[in-house]
Structure 1
Amino acid sequence: MSKDHFVLTAVEPLPNYGLRLTYADGQAFTVDLRERIRTTSFLAPLENATLFAQAKPGFAGRSVDWVEDELDLGSDNLRHLAVEQAGGIGHERIWSWLEDTGLTLEQAAEALGISRRMLIYYRDGEKPIPRAIWLACLGWEAVRPKGSSLPLHVPSAQEYAALHAG
Protein backbone atom coordinates (compact mmCIF):
# COMPACT_ATOMS: atom_id res chain seq x y z
CA MET A 1 0.00 0.00 0.00
CA SER A 2 1.29 3.46 -0.85
CA LYS A 3 1.39 6.52 1.37
CA ASP A 4 -1.28 8.23 -0.78
CA HIS A 5 -3.72 8.06 2.11
CA PHE A 6 -2.39 11.42 3.40
CA VAL A 7 -1.91 13.18 0.05
CA LEU A 8 -4.71 15.61 -0.77
CA THR A 9 -5.91 15.89 -4.35
CA ALA A 10 -8.77 18.32 -3.70
CA VAL A 11 -9.96 20.68 -0.99
CA GLU A 12 -13.44 22.22 -1.10
CA PRO A 13 -14.35 24.84 1.49
CA LEU A 14 -17.90 24.32 2.79
CA PRO A 15 -20.29 26.64 4.63
CA ASN A 16 -19.86 26.98 8.39
CA TYR A 17 -16.11 26.27 8.37
CA GLY A 18 -16.21 22.80 6.92
CA LEU A 19 -13.89 21.24 4.37
CA ARG A 20 -14.46 18.43 1.89
CA LEU A 21 -11.12 16.65 1.55
CA THR A 22 -10.27 14.20 -1.21
CA TYR A 23 -7.15 12.07 -0.85
CA ALA A 24 -5.04 10.33 -3.49
CA ASP A 25 -6.24 6.92 -2.26
CA GLY A 26 -9.74 7.88 -3.45
CA GLN A 27 -11.18 8.48 0.04
CA ALA A 28 -13.13 11.66 0.71
CA PHE A 29 -13.94 13.13 4.11
CA THR A 30 -15.80 16.10 5.49
CA VAL A 31 -14.29 17.84 8.48
CA ASP A 32 -15.85 20.52 10.66
CA LEU A 33 -13.30 23.08 11.84
CA ARG A 34 -15.64 25.47 13.70
CA GLU A 35 -14.57 24.39 17.19
CA ARG A 36 -10.86 24.26 16.32
CA ILE A 37 -10.97 27.74 14.83
CA ARG A 38 -12.87 29.08 17.82
CA THR A 39 -10.49 27.57 20.41
CA THR A 40 -7.06 27.63 18.72
CA SER A 41 -5.38 31.02 18.67
CA PHE A 42 -3.25 30.49 15.55
CA LEU A 43 -6.42 29.53 13.62
CA ALA A 44 -8.34 32.64 14.72
CA PRO A 45 -7.75 34.43 11.37
CA LEU A 46 -9.89 31.71 9.74
CA GLU A 47 -12.97 33.16 11.44
CA ASN A 48 -12.89 35.48 8.44
CA ALA A 49 -15.15 33.57 6.03
CA THR A 50 -13.45 35.11 2.98
CA LEU A 51 -10.06 33.84 4.12
CA PHE A 52 -11.47 30.43 5.07
CA ALA A 53 -12.95 30.08 1.56
CA GLN A 54 -9.41 30.32 0.11
CA ALA A 55 -8.46 26.86 1.41
CA LYS A 56 -6.43 24.83 -1.10
CA PRO A 57 -4.07 21.85 -1.13
CA GLY A 58 -0.59 22.80 0.04
CA PHE A 59 2.81 21.64 -1.20
CA ALA A 60 2.70 18.03 -2.45
CA GLY A 61 -0.83 17.69 -1.05
CA ARG A 62 0.51 17.36 2.51
CA SER A 63 -1.52 20.22 3.94
CA VAL A 64 -4.46 22.53 3.50
CA ASP A 65 -3.10 26.03 3.03
CA TRP A 66 -4.76 29.38 3.53
CA VAL A 67 -1.62 31.53 3.71
CA GLU A 68 1.45 29.72 2.37
CA ASP A 69 4.06 28.96 5.07
CA GLU A 70 1.95 30.84 7.64
CA LEU A 71 -1.50 29.33 8.01
CA ASP A 72 -2.03 25.66 7.20
CA LEU A 73 -3.11 22.34 8.67
CA GLY A 74 -1.51 18.95 7.98
CA SER A 75 -3.44 16.58 5.75
CA ASP A 76 -2.78 13.65 8.12
CA ASN A 77 -4.16 15.55 11.12
CA LEU A 78 -7.22 16.61 9.13
CA ARG A 79 -7.89 13.02 8.05
CA HIS A 80 -7.60 11.86 11.66
CA LEU A 81 -10.02 14.58 12.79
CA ALA A 82 -12.50 13.76 10.01
CA VAL A 83 -12.43 10.04 10.88
CA GLU A 84 -13.01 10.86 14.56
CA GLN A 85 -15.85 13.28 13.75
CA ALA A 86 -17.49 10.55 11.66
CA GLY A 87 -17.41 8.19 14.66
CA GLY A 88 -14.34 6.20 13.68
CA ILE A 89 -11.04 5.70 15.45
CA GLY A 90 -8.29 7.94 14.11
CA HIS A 91 -4.80 6.51 13.58
CA GLU A 92 -3.23 8.95 16.05
CA ARG A 93 -4.88 7.03 18.88
CA ILE A 94 -2.65 4.04 18.16
CA TRP A 95 0.44 6.29 18.19
CA SER A 96 -0.62 7.69 21.58
CA TRP A 97 -1.46 4.26 22.97
CA LEU A 98 1.94 2.89 21.99
CA GLU A 99 3.69 5.85 23.56
CA ASP A 100 1.58 5.72 26.74
CA THR A 101 2.11 2.00 27.25
CA GLY A 102 5.77 1.90 26.29
CA LEU A 103 5.13 -1.29 24.31
CA THR A 104 7.23 -2.12 21.27
CA LEU A 105 5.39 -2.91 18.04
CA GLU A 106 6.04 -6.61 18.64
CA GLN A 107 4.74 -6.50 22.22
CA ALA A 108 1.70 -4.45 21.26
CA ALA A 109 0.81 -6.72 18.33
CA GLU A 110 1.08 -9.78 20.58
CA ALA A 111 -1.04 -8.11 23.28
CA LEU A 112 -3.74 -7.31 20.71
CA GLY A 113 -3.57 -10.70 19.00
CA ILE A 114 -2.70 -9.26 15.59
CA SER A 115 0.36 -9.22 13.37
CA ARG A 116 3.00 -6.53 13.67
CA ARG A 117 2.30 -5.57 10.04
CA MET A 118 -1.43 -5.05 10.74
CA LEU A 119 -0.62 -2.89 13.76
CA ILE A 120 1.63 -0.77 11.53
CA TYR A 121 -1.22 -0.40 9.01
CA TYR A 122 -3.48 0.87 11.81
CA ARG A 123 -0.81 3.11 13.33
CA ASP A 124 0.06 4.69 9.99
CA GLY A 125 -3.56 5.21 8.95
CA GLU A 126 -3.29 2.83 6.00
CA LYS A 127 -6.24 0.75 7.25
CA PRO A 128 -9.17 1.80 9.41
CA ILE A 129 -8.91 0.74 13.04
CA PRO A 130 -11.69 -1.71 13.90
CA ARG A 131 -13.66 -0.87 17.02
CA ALA A 132 -12.66 -4.22 18.55
CA ILE A 133 -8.96 -3.35 18.23
CA TRP A 134 -9.42 0.01 19.93
CA LEU A 135 -11.47 -1.63 22.68
CA ALA A 136 -8.64 -4.16 23.12
CA CYS A 137 -6.19 -1.25 23.50
CA LEU A 138 -8.42 0.30 26.17
CA GLY A 139 -8.80 -3.05 27.89
CA TRP A 140 -5.07 -3.63 27.90
CA GLU A 141 -4.60 -0.17 29.39
CA ALA A 142 -7.15 -0.93 32.10
CA VAL A 143 -5.67 -4.25 33.23
CA ARG A 144 -2.01 -3.99 32.17
CA PRO A 145 -1.55 -7.74 31.97
CA LYS A 146 1.81 -9.21 32.93
CA GLY A 147 3.10 -12.00 30.74
CA SER A 148 0.89 -13.94 28.36
CA SER A 149 -1.96 -14.73 30.76
CA LEU A 150 -4.93 -12.40 30.77
CA PRO A 151 -6.79 -11.38 33.93
CA LEU A 152 -10.16 -12.97 34.56
CA HIS A 153 -11.88 -9.80 35.78
CA VAL A 154 -11.86 -6.03 35.30
CA PRO A 155 -9.94 -4.37 38.13
CA SER A 156 -11.74 -2.48 40.87
CA ALA A 157 -11.08 1.23 41.25
CA GLN A 158 -8.45 0.47 43.88
CA GLU A 159 -6.78 -2.22 41.76
CA TYR A 160 -6.84 0.12 38.74
CA ALA A 161 -5.20 2.90 40.77
CA ALA A 162 -2.52 0.47 41.98
CA LEU A 163 -1.83 -0.70 38.41
CA HIS A 164 -1.33 2.89 37.24
CA ALA A 165 0.60 4.20 40.23
CA GLY A 166 3.95 5.77 39.43
Structure 2
Amino acid sequence: MTAGQSTITAVTALADGVLQLTFADGETVRVDVKPIIGRHPTLRELADPAVFSRAAVGEWGGTVTWGADALELAADNLRARAAQ
Protein backbone atom coordinates (compact mmCIF):
# COMPACT_ATOMS: atom_id res chain seq x y z
CA MET A 1 0.00 0.00 0.00
CA THR A 2 1.43 3.35 -0.97
CA ALA A 3 1.03 6.55 1.05
CA GLY A 4 -1.61 7.84 -1.36
CA GLN A 5 -3.77 4.81 -0.73
CA SER A 6 -4.12 5.87 2.91
CA THR A 7 -4.86 9.54 2.21
CA ILE A 8 -8.50 10.39 2.87
CA THR A 9 -10.08 12.92 0.52
CA ALA A 10 -13.65 12.82 1.86
CA VAL A 11 -15.53 11.51 4.90
CA THR A 12 -19.21 11.23 5.70
CA ALA A 13 -20.50 10.15 9.09
CA LEU A 14 -23.36 7.74 8.50
CA ALA A 15 -25.81 6.44 11.08
CA ASP A 16 -24.80 4.14 13.90
CA GLY A 17 -21.01 4.61 13.98
CA VAL A 18 -20.23 4.04 10.32
CA LEU A 19 -17.89 6.26 8.30
CA GLN A 20 -17.93 6.47 4.53
CA LEU A 21 -14.40 7.25 3.39
CA THR A 22 -13.00 8.17 0.00
CA PHE A 23 -9.27 7.70 -0.46
CA ALA A 24 -6.90 9.45 -2.87
CA ASP A 25 -6.79 6.38 -5.12
CA GLY A 26 -10.56 6.78 -5.68
CA GLU A 27 -11.75 3.88 -3.56
CA THR A 28 -14.79 4.57 -1.37
CA VAL A 29 -15.44 2.27 1.60
CA ARG A 30 -17.65 2.09 4.66
CA VAL A 31 -16.04 1.38 8.00
CA ASP A 32 -17.90 0.49 11.19
CA VAL A 33 -15.97 2.22 13.98
CA LYS A 34 -18.38 1.34 16.83
CA PRO A 35 -16.09 -1.43 18.12
CA ILE A 36 -13.14 1.00 18.23
CA ILE A 37 -15.22 3.61 20.07
CA GLY A 38 -16.35 0.99 22.58
CA ARG A 39 -12.81 -0.21 23.33
CA HIS A 40 -11.11 3.16 23.79
CA PRO A 41 -12.31 5.39 26.64
CA THR A 42 -10.81 8.47 24.95
CA LEU A 43 -13.18 7.96 22.00
CA ARG A 44 -16.40 7.33 23.95
CA GLU A 45 -17.61 10.87 23.19
CA LEU A 46 -18.05 9.66 19.59
CA ALA A 47 -20.90 7.41 20.73
CA ASP A 48 -23.02 10.60 20.80
CA PRO A 49 -24.57 10.91 17.30
CA ALA A 50 -24.33 14.73 17.47
CA VAL A 51 -20.56 14.50 18.02
CA PHE A 52 -20.03 11.64 15.55
CA SER A 53 -21.77 13.59 12.79
CA ARG A 54 -19.02 16.25 12.92
CA ALA A 55 -16.43 13.91 11.33
CA ALA A 56 -14.02 15.77 9.04
CA VAL A 57 -10.89 15.01 7.06
CA GLY A 58 -7.84 15.86 9.16
CA GLU A 59 -4.75 17.73 8.05
CA TRP A 60 -3.14 16.25 4.91
CA GLY A 61 -5.84 13.55 4.81
CA GLY A 62 -4.00 11.48 7.37
CA THR A 63 -6.85 11.25 9.87
CA VAL A 64 -10.54 11.57 10.46
CA THR A 65 -11.04 14.13 13.19
CA TRP A 66 -13.83 15.46 15.32
CA GLY A 67 -12.11 18.71 16.27
CA ALA A 68 -9.93 17.50 19.13
CA ASP A 69 -6.57 15.73 19.13
CA ALA A 70 -7.98 12.95 21.31
CA LEU A 71 -10.81 12.41 18.82
CA GLU A 72 -8.90 11.24 15.76
CA LEU A 73 -8.62 8.00 13.85
CA ALA A 74 -5.65 7.34 11.57
CA ALA A 75 -6.33 6.91 7.85
CA ASP A 76 -4.05 3.88 7.48
CA ASN A 77 -5.81 2.07 10.35
CA LEU A 78 -9.21 2.84 8.85
CA ARG A 79 -8.07 1.57 5.44
CA ALA A 80 -6.81 -1.65 7.01
CA ARG A 81 -10.08 -2.10 8.92
CA ALA A 82 -12.05 -1.62 5.69
CA ALA A 83 -10.01 -4.38 4.05
CA GLN A 84 -10.90 -6.88 6.79
Pairwise same-fold verdict (TM > 0.5): yes
Task: Name the Cα RMSD after superposition.
Answer: 1.4
Q: Which residue of 1 aligns with 2:28?
A: 28
Q: Which residue of 2 aligns with 1:72?
A: 72
1:28-52 superposed Cα distances (whole Å, 9 cap, x missing partner):
1100011211222111110111000
Q: List gaps (5 residues or longer) in structure 2.
A: none
Structure 2 residue matching 1:81: 3-state secondary structure:
helix
Bigger Rg, which one: 1
Q: Which residue of 1 aligns with 2:56?
A: 56
Q: Given that residues 58 and 68 in structure 1 are in contact (C-alpha distance below 8 angstroms), is that contact kept between their aligned partners in structure 2?
A: no
| TM-score using structure 1 length | 0.48
**Aligned partner letter, 1:83:** A
Structure 1 residue matching 2:16: 3-state secondary structure:
coil
Q: Given that residues 6 and 62 in structure 1 are in contact (C-alpha distance below 8 angstroms), is that contact kept between their aligned partners in structure 2?
A: yes
Q: Which residue of 1 aligns with 2:11?
A: 11
More strand by share: 2
Q: Which residue of 2 aligns with 1:44?
A: 44
1:2 is displaced (CA, Å) by 5.4
1:117-152 superposed Cα distances (whole Å, 9 cap, x missing partner):
xxxxxxxxxxxxxxxxxxxxxxxxxxxxxxxxxxxx
Q: Percent identity?
A: 36
Q: Given that residues 43 and 70 in structure 2 are in contact (C-alpha distance below 8 angstroms), is that contact kept between their aligned partners in structure 1?
A: no
Q: Given that residues 7 and 23 in structure 2 are in contact (C-alpha distance below 8 angstroms), is that contact kept between their aligned partners in structure 1?
A: yes
Inter-CA distance 2–51: structure 2 relative to 1 (3 Å threshold): same
Q: Given that residues 42 and 70 in structure 2 are in contact (C-alpha distance below 8 angstroms), is that contact kept between their aligned partners in structure 1?
A: no
1:95-127 superposed Cα distances (whole Å, 9 cap, x missing partner):
xxxxxxxxxxxxxxxxxxxxxxxxxxxxxxxxx
* Higher RCO structure (Cα 8 Å, ≥6 apart): 2
- Number of equivalences: 84
Q: List gaps (5 residues or longer) in structure 1.
A: 85-166
Q: Which residue of 2 aligns with 1:119?
A: none
| TM-score using structure 2 length | 0.92
